[in-house]
Structure 1
Amino acid sequence: MGDRLVRVEDKEIKISNVDKELYPGITKYDWILHLTRLAPYLLPYAQGRYLTTIRYPDGVKGKSFYQKNIPDHAPDWVKRTTWGEIEYILLQDTATLVWLGNLASLEFHVSFDRAEHPGYPTELVFDIDPSVEGFEAVMETALLTRETLRSMGLDGVVKTSGATGLQVYVPIQPRYSYEETRQISQFVARFLQDRHPQLITLERSVKKRGNKVYFDYLQHWRGKSLITAYSPRARSEATVSVPLKWEELKPGLTPEDFTLETVYQRLEQVGDLFAPISQPNHRYDLQAILQFISTKA
């Protein structure tokens, strides 16, 4: 397994073990090429956020570990920032993405707030996961979530997690604390559970969920992260977290439809459906909703 030097954005990066298989049929050098193609779509939302990567030195079939702190051997040109006791990488450019790819970082998870304005999330985010196999209940829950949000004067973008679930993002003015956004997230979650008790659960314990869909509003918090749009996942199918049109949520859709082999054709056909989140023209004001919830407390 040899090494290869590549030049990205005037940075020279050594790619080691280029022939090592990271996914079935995908070598590390293939992986690097995939990252350069995904970069224009992945970077706009990831930039300026606290990054957590999951590294698989021996590929998806091997062991993995989370990395939050920037490695000591990181090049000086890799941007970084400190929050708490952690010195995070800032995924600002394609060169950094390629450098991380060489470390066998197969997943890219980012914070809900930006380093320049910590503590104030830029979206409300709802993470919807099945408790048993199947995607239809997850899609139904996402559509019910949108219906509820629209009744509140809000709307957002849905994307696959790249694994088994869906995530709903609502762009908001970044002037509300996590405590304030939690009030709204919890209100939406409890409303949906009360209206659809046979479908939706807020139970964190997997053993206690039965076959219900888990509506996770707690993940949206300081110090936590979620897979970023267009990040691949460390699954043998090489799935990618892909934004969807709401009308695509119908029987027959599965997360496995969107992989490193199929995502580029989709991007050519539909463009960047996450642009309303990564580069929003409008962010919602939550003040009236917070005032309404306070009268119900």
Structure 2
Amino acid sequence: MNTTEHQELARQLPAPAERDLPPDRHRHHKELLMRTIDGDRPRPRRRLVRPAFALPAAAAVVAGALAVTVLSGTQDRSPETQVAPAKPGTPRGAVVLLDRIAAVAMKTGTEPVRDDQYVYVRSLTTDTVHIKPVKAGGLKEREDWVPQDPYASHEAGVFREDGKFVPITSADKDPAGIDRPTYKWLASLPTDPDALHERIRKETRPVRGQDFDQTVFDTFGTLLSRGVMPSRTEAALYKAAAKIPGVVEMPDAVDAHGRHGVAIAREDRQLGERTEWIFNKETLKFLGERTYLTETGERGKAGTLVRANAILDRAVVDRPRQVP
């Protein structure tokens, strides 16, 4: 790879001043680009996915907000940096578990979200210190306020990290769609799982160097995390996710907050990573997500934690900087 190509790839990295990606997903795609620059992977040809918070969710969304709180910033604790990978289950087990999660989603009473409202999420996420070798750092607490329609909202989106508010400067650049899933757009999706699976695969743009089925898995996770949607749509998304090749269930997984649960997982053999969506074993409420290495190499030993996060609160609010 020549210098010009290095510079062009570097320009594709999100500008630090905008900081409109959550740390975990920013680092995920930055790692892909860095590996490409190092000659480990071919050059990606799609623009980076920019989820406001890349996590799936089966929990009810609560409307309304009143008080504003101050976050404590970086936490003085860290999740275990070495995962003891359990033997994965089977695709059939994933179908059964996702059907159960879909049944819970169907019972979730979600009110329609107005164009002038915001999706609020408070979460914990690890801070990656090194890429080669991988080292997951301490936890940071973060809040996101993502507008449904930046033109109808009072102002564009914003997030708060380390106690500081930062505008989401790209919020008004993307039309509603797979990269910015609004309530209206999600409500327009087919609710037949087969049709929905094909629709998402068709609209997911490949990341060269990443297993395409893993990119689809990540896209489903983004849709289930960023968007508030009708119960039927959410249930259909979980059932459609079961159709992604390589998806299995895991008997035990731990989120960034230390909570154990069952998981839906998929391994990207091209990158040597496994990503898990973690759910409470009894309520099937979404808890968080983690990714760790499945192969020993220059990035670290198998089982090394790459990133982890946890959802602490979700809601629909009327204004940015409001919390439930």
Could you say which TM-score interval applies, normalised by the shorter chain? under 0.3
Larger radius of gyration: 1
TM-score normalized with structure 2 length? 0.23
TM-score normalized with structure 1 length? 0.25
Q: Which has the higher contact order (CA 8 A, sep 6+)?
A: 2
Q: Identify, as 1 or 2, the structure richer in helix.
A: 1
